[in-house]
Amino acid sequence: MRFIDEARVYVHAGKGGDGAIAFLREKYRPFGGPAGGDGGRGGEVVFVVDEGLSTLLDFKYQPRLVARDGEAGRGKQQYGHKGDDLTVRVPPGTMVFDEESGALLADLVVPGDRAVIARAGEGGKGNMHFVSSTHRAPRIATPGTAGEQRWVKLELRLVAEVGLIGLPNAGKSTLLAALSAARPKIAPYPFTTITPNLGNVQVADERSFNVADIPGLIEGAHEGHGLGIRFLRHIKRTRVLVYVIDIGGDAEKDFAIVRGEIAAFDEELAARPALIALNKIDLAEPRAAARIARALAKRTGLKVLPISAEESSGIDPLIEAITAQVWISESAAAACPS
């Protein structure tokens, strides 16, 4: 399935039905009077989170979402039927923006979350409402109002507590596979990962957290270089960042590049809890690996965990460290809700 994280969609709620002009004519009720019923309300366009979805691909093939109109009123004081709402399923993490104003209409995260994106028009009044002592047979009814219509922009931002970030070929996808049951594409060439991948890590005490593997960043990513800012937004929801650094390169320089790109994109994001996974230690001499880890910890002030994602070495301590950071961040968020 193709990963599509942006879409442009036209939404149109239903028009309300017109009110009716009618008079009651029955054999034994010669003075039945006005009996025109009200029109039905139109249908609304409602977005609902479906945890079984992970892409906005469907909207590329269905860019117009139109709800049904309400029925017109009828005689004998009969109201028109309400138009059916159009319920649209979207993946968790979908943000809906009004294209013209740029305003955020909805941020749909939790499965079952609902949001009305286009409100329905109201039904018109039938002539039975316009009777008065001086106007016994009104031939007046009001039309239904139009439903809202607009172009909206959809953006998908992965819902994950932890984000794996680093330069291309730092081993993020291999680490994701070692941490979880996810099976991302892994190959020894730059930009193997061109779409974010998501995995779930099960912890011994029955806790779990989601991890997002973000495609490799390069210097200038916040300005659109490489894969650019397209995927940087997927770490906006994360609580903890894991910098995956290849021990075979210049670890301090590589960290500075990645963190600099995160800070240039969003300073608040760069200030979130983080740790460093110093990867590929199986390719380095143990003493050299320990020396690089100490120097990196001293330079960055972050906890550094030497690992080998390829050989699943050091994974358990890494999971323990991530779990502790996630728990602390969740506790802090609960104590100071935004």
Do 53 and 77 lie in one domain? The reply is yes
pLDDT, block means (10 residues), the chain with 338 residues? 79 96 77 87 96 87 94 92 95 93 93 94 94 87 96 89 87 87 54 66 77 72 52 81 92 91 87 93 91 94 93 91 84 58
Distance CA 313, CA 101 (A): 50
Do 182 and 139 lie in one domain? The reply is no
CA 325 vs CA 14, 100, 127: distances in Å: 48, 40, 66
Q: What is the pLDDT of residue 83?
A: 95
CA 114 vs CA 29, 151, 185: distances in Å: 48, 19, 34
Do 193 and 321 lie in one domain? The reply is yes
The domain boundary, picked from 156, 175, 201, lies at 156
DSSP, res 251 = H
Per-residue pLDDT of 256-297, as tens digits, reads: 998 988 888 888 888 889 999 999 999 889 999 999 999 999
Strands (DSSP E) contained in 147-281 are 149-156, 162-165, 197-202, 208-213, 240-246, 274-279
Range of the domain at 204: 162-335
CATH label of the domain that carries residue 18: 2.70.210.12
Q: In what order do the strands lie in the sheet with 94-98?
A: 64-66, 6-12, 149-156, 94-98, 104-108
Distance CA 17, CA 131 (A): 21
Do 150 and 183 lie in one domain? The reply is no
- Residue 4 dihedral angles phi and psi, to the nearest 5°: -120, 120
Do 314 and 189 lie in one domain? The reply is yes
Specify the number of domains making up the chain.
2
Do 133 and 168 lie in one domain? The reply is no
Helices marked H in 180-314: 251-265, 267-270, 286-300
Do 32 and 103 lie in one domain? The reply is yes
Strands (DSSP E) contained in 109-249 are 114-118, 149-156, 162-165, 197-202, 208-213, 240-246
Beta bridge partners of 243: 165, 276
The domain boundary, picked from 125, 156, 187, lies at 156
Chain mean position to CA 251:
33
CATH label of the domain that carries residue 193: 3.40.50.300
The domain boundary, picked from 111, 133, 156, lies at 156
Q: What is the pLDDT of residue 192?
A: 47
Q: What is the pLDDT of residue 145?
A: 96
Contact 149, 43 (CB under 8 A): no
Q: Which residues contact 172 (CB under 8 A, 6 or more apart)?
A: 164, 165, 166, 193, 213, 214, 216, 244
Q: What is the pLDDT of residue 222?
A: 47
Distance CA 300, CA 253 (A): 11
Do 115 and 208 lie in one domain? The reply is no
Helices marked H in the chain: 57-61, 172-179, 251-265, 267-270, 286-300, 315-335
